[in-house]
Amino acid sequence: MEAKPDCPKCHASTVYRSGKILGKQRYRCKNCGFQFTRTTPRGRPASEKALAVTLYTMGLSLSAIARIFHVSPPAVLRWVRNFAERVYEKPEPGEAIIVELDEMWHFLKSKKTNFGSGKPIVVIPVNSSTGNVEGVIRLPSTD
């Protein structure tokens, strides 16, 4: 005779057989009334997920890890994100860093080399804690 499984919801051993569905035995818990058919856990073991996260942190791509474990890349991404949410604390937002480029896009987007944008631009950090920088264009000497 087959041993009756414990209830997956309340973990009580007071379950009874409650018919069949798609050829599988259905059980019902006397304590909470939960019906279930699956007695084996779903998904990959935690050790495989931990190994996948370790491989990702070592620089292996999501696609390569997915090929190793025969799963989809979004599944590996979900494992990595779940691990990060459980383990790492989200940093508190600090002070906003405002960067003013003041029409630098015009110089950077232009392809002309004989006027303005072709000259080297030197960026000097003014204050490293706020992220302020100062742009300096080196002009050719007129000596």
pLDDT (tens digit per residue) in 90-130: 778 778 777 666 666 666 666 555 555 555 556 666 665 66
Q: What is the pLDDT of residues 24-71, one digit of tens each?
A: 889 999 989 999 887 777 889 999 999 999 999 999 999 999 999 999
- For residue 1, the model assigns a pLDDT of 58
- What is residue 143's predicted lDDT score, i.e. its pLDDT? 52
Q: Tell me, what's the pLDDT at 51?
A: 95
pTM of the model: 0.46
pLDDT tens digits, 74-94: 999 999 999 999 988 877 877
pLDDT at 109: 61
Q: What is the 3-state secondary structure (H, E, C) of the chain?
A: CCCCCCCCCCCCCCEEEEEEECCEEEEEECCCCCEECCCCCCCCCHHHHHHHHHHHHCCCCHHHHHHHHCCCHHHHHHHHHHHHHHHCCCCCCCCCCCCCCCCHHHHHHCCCCCCCCCCCEEEEEEECCCCEEEEEECCCCCC
